Amino acid sequence: MIKVKVPATSANMGPGFDSLGIAFDLSNEYEFSEGENGIKFYGFKEEFCNEKNIVYKSMKICFEKYNFKPKGLNIKLIKEDIPISRGLGSSSSCIIAGLLGANYIMNNLLSLEELFRIGVEIEGHPDNIAPALFGGMVVSVMEEENVIYNKIDVKNGINFIALIPNFELSTALSRSALPSKVEFKDAVYNISRVALMISSFSNGSYDLLKYCCKDSIHEKYRSPLIKDYDLVYNKCMELGALGCFLSGAGPTIMAIVNKDDKNIFSNIKNFRKQKYSLGYKKALY
């Protein structure tokens, strides 16, 4: 039997579309063991107690790749703190949990690097998978069939506040809002800002985040799907956030704040509308 804890993640981080992600201390926890026969689910909602369960599907893909046939499986959800379809990597959490559980049952046949590659194959892009598996802030790119990643050493001095709406936004719908092409000036806009963002996190120049959190290739297309997006974004900045960005495909809005600012969390909490549930999430560096 093995217990697996997988963190929530936030991808894109403004201009880092499909390439930049960070892990948080919000997490889901699972327990895996090989059973005598059949698949048994524990702790999941009834609608997820079947072979469409993402955790199980990830395990099955892993088993099939290596021609492993377990006698049976016990899959238990111990704790579920990552909200579904909110832009906080819930599907990546399930994928990584399933792969780690499968690897344990196969007597740890695979390395983390091999599990990472399988996870990216399942998810289709690495921006959530990388921080979910390796923790911290990670930049990752696809190079033909290979996935290249590198962790970023984030300097101390900041915290993150996640404003999580009480409505879901499917990744498929959010991605369908994106254009098939972007203008040259928009590409340059993002390239310069993601470079500035990484340097800011690396050397602690957090006064620059108000410039480098800005994006021109996905947020302006997705934000109309999120009620009061501009209101929430602008109010966070007005209250002293260093920068804000849409978390993943949304609808969660992430605010980066100065760690020494003792008032901003309560100020943002007091501002929140009834439609929002507010969580305070500190990044895992």
CATH code at 217?
A: 3.30.70.890
Residue 253 lies in domain: 158-281
pLDDT at 284: 44
Report how far residue 257's alpha carbon sits from residue 79's, in angstroms, rounded to the nearest whole number. 28
The answer on 106 and 91 residing in a single domain is yes
Q: Judge contact between 190 and 216, C-beta under 8 A.
A: yes
Domain boundary among 108, 132, 151: 151
Residue with tokens 């936004």: 169
Known binding residue 61? Answer is no
The answer on 135 and 6 residing in a single domain is yes
Domain boundary among 108, 128, 151: 151
The answer on 186 and 129 residing in a single domain is no
Distance of CA 56 to the CA centre of its chain: 20
Name the residue type at position 148. Answer: I
The answer on 11 and 67 residing in a single domain is yes
Q: Judge contact between 30 and 97, C-beta under 8 A.
A: yes
pTM of the predicted model, to two decimals?
0.90
The answer on 183 and 138 residing in a single domain is no
Q: How many domains does the chain have?
A: 2
Q: What are phi and psi of 276, to 5 degrees?
A: -105, 140
Report how far residue 97's alpha carbon sits from residue 6's, in angstroms, rounded to the nearest whole number. 6
pLDDT in tens, the chain (285 residues): 999 999 999 999 999 999 999 999 889 999 999 988 889 999 999 999 999 999 999 999 999 999 999 989 999 999 999 998 899 999 999 999 999 999 999 999 999 999 999 999 999 889 999 999 999 999 999 888 889 999 999 999 999 999 888 888 888 888 899 999 999 999 999 999 999 999 999 999 999 999 999 999 999 999 999 988 998 999 999 999 999 999 998 899 999 999 988 888 888 877 765 455 555 454 443
Known binding residue 216? Answer is no
The answer on 172 and 257 residing in a single domain is yes
The answer on 184 and 136 residing in a single domain is no
Known binding residue 268? Answer is no
Known binding residue 85? Answer is yes
Known binding residue 86? Answer is yes
Tokens found for residue 88: 């906080």
Tokens found for residue 36: 């005598």
pLDDT at 43: 94
Report how far residue 282's alpha carbon sits from residue 285's, in angstroms, rounded to the nearest whole number. 9
Known binding residue 99? Answer is no
pLDDT at 215: 95
Characterize the bridge pairing of strands 276-281 and 243-246.
unpaired
Known binding residue 89? Answer is yes
Name the residue type at position 284. Answer: L
pLDDT at 276: 59
